[in-house]
Amino acid sequence: MFFVVNFSMNKLEHIGIAVADLEASEALFTKLLGVSPYKREVVESENVITSFFQVGDVKIELLAATHEGSTIAKFIDKKGEGLHHLAFEVDNLEESLTEKANSGFDLIHTQPKPGADGKIIAFLHPKSTNSVLTEMCQTANK
């Protein structure tokens, strides 16, 4: 089967990992990856605190809940700690959302929203991506 894609995803931008204890997970991933996190950031709208590691061209984003009702807290309660999402960089997030919707993907967000690390973000629903939560992101003000 052959597919034509108009708005490609440029690269894997980061891998999101849900964690229960951010400090313990930072220590674990520092030991595992051989690098320290370069940034911590609270994303109030998502009730999470993030910690980023740079590994080559890809980032690892640890996500810890700041509120028991947050999406990350619910994820950990249901599935445990682990892989939460894959994030792909795009050139134009609004156009990419339109193209993905027109291609039959279910959107969680129909409009970009502020995310961590200077990005605007939107998610595709995992029910349309083989159960993989997929984030598309673009550098803000681009």
| CATH number of 98's domain | 3.10.180.10
Is residue 26 a part of any domain in this protein?
yes
Is residue 31 a part of any domain in this protein?
yes
Domain count, the chain: 1
Is residue 6 a part of any domain in this protein?
no
Which pTM does this prediction carry? Answer: 0.89
How far apart CA 138 and CA 130 sit, in angstroms, is 23
How far apart CA 61 and CA 101 sit, in angstroms, is 26
Q: Please determine, for residue 41, whether its predicted confidence score (pLDDT) is greater than 60.
A: yes
Please write down the long-range contacts of 76-79, taking CB distance under 8 Å and 24 or more positions apart: 76/18, 76/19, 76/20, 79/18
Region 6-35: mean pLDDT is 93
Cα 130 to the chain's mean position, in Å?
Answer: 16
pLDDT at residue 49 in the model? 98
Tell me whether strands 11-18 and 58-65 are parallel, antiparallel or unpaired: parallel
Is residue 5 a part of any domain in this protein?
no
Is residue 77 a part of any domain in this protein?
yes
Domain that holds residue 134: 11-139
Region 130-134: mean pLDDT is 96
Do 113 and 44 meet the contact criterion of CB atoms below 8 Å apart?
A: no
124: left (phi over 0), alpha (psi -120 to 50) or beta: beta
Is residue 70 a part of any domain in this protein?
yes
Q: Please determine, for residue 2, whether its predicted confidence score (pLDDT) is greater than 80.
A: no
